[in-house]
Amino acid sequence: MYSIGQLSKKTGVTVRTLDYYDEIGLITPSSKTEGGHRLYSDNDVMRLEQVLALKFMGFSLQQIQEVLDRPTATWEDSLEKQLKMIRQQQKQLKELERAVQSVLYSVQFEDAINWAIIFEIIQMFKQSKESVQDLFEHYFNPNEYKEIQDMGKRMDEQDLQEWQDIFHDVRANIHVHPGSDTAQRLARRWMDKVDEMFAGNKEIEAKMWHAMKDHKDDITFYPIDKDMVNFIDSAVTIMYQENDQNNNRSKREAEDE
């Protein structure tokens, strides 16, 4: 038998907590000394260990009481329900992480707190996944949509930082002529990163750009906004035109030889 002090030392549970468990009937000592001091049996210790294990797995004290009072055969059902709840909480926390990261990114990108943008970002994350999926399914077939989702999972911190640097540089040079050397360097950086991200899949690249152009007036692809889309669209068009001219010139020179 263990006194409350001995049980506290053995399990690491404070005397105050053991008092509370006794008060609510969760862990009741099997006997008492003649002086009224509580004594805990090995079975009581086992029950406390069960409480600690279930508490670690996220069960509330009320849930623990219900689980411990059931036959052992029903534990599996309780654990499956708890696991399902934990996975749902993980998904919610992941969404919250993405939302907070996006808000932080907006503050870093704007070099200030723009509450209008922050509000729009939060509203976007509050949308149901179905509405986001509907938006993408308007442009992509199921296989393409899955590929885009997989692509997002593959992106790491370095990829995100590289895109952030490109966005910053485009924003800083948004006033230059799209045919200038500066704009053309930015266009090449942009398209090189796009090709890397989409593994050279030109069809998905084109569809994604179409989606961005259609939604350049809203927050969907933030921080890619109307000015950035127009700038990159013009600069890339000029880049491809110059590439075509150079290719045609090279062909003519080869034919003359």
CA distance 126 to 81: 25
* pLDDT score, position 116: 66
Of 163, 169, 172, nearest in space to 222 by CA: 163
| pLDDT bracket for residue 239 (50, 70, 90) | very high
* pLDDT score, position 244: 76
Please report which residue ranges of 111-156 form alpha helices under DSSP H. 115-126, 129-137, 142-154
Q: Mean of the per-residue pLDDT values for the chain?
A: 84
Q: 97 or 79: whose pLDDT is higher?
A: 79
Percent of the chain with pLDDT over 90: 31
Helices 15-23 and 4-11: angle between axes, nearest 10 degrees:
110
Tell me the mean pLDDT in the region 65-72.
77
| pLDDT bracket for residue 169 (50, 70, 90) | very high
* pLDDT score, position 199: 87
| pLDDT bracket for residue 151 (50, 70, 90) | confident
| pTM of this structure | 0.59
* pLDDT score, position 133: 72
* pLDDT score, position 66: 84
CA distance 167 to 109: 8
| pLDDT bracket for residue 243 (50, 70, 90) | confident
* pLDDT score, position 249: 67
Cβ atoms of residues 18 and 27 within 8 Å: yes
Phi, psi for residue 119 in degrees, rounded to 5 = -65, -45
pLDDT digits (tens, 9 = 90+) for 110-144: 776 666 666 666 766 666 566 667 778 889 988 98
Statement: residue 192 has pLDDT above 90: yes
Cβ atoms of residues 30 and 41 within 8 Å: yes
Q: Which residues contact 19 (CB under 8 A, 6 or more apart)?
A: 4
* pLDDT score, position 73: 52
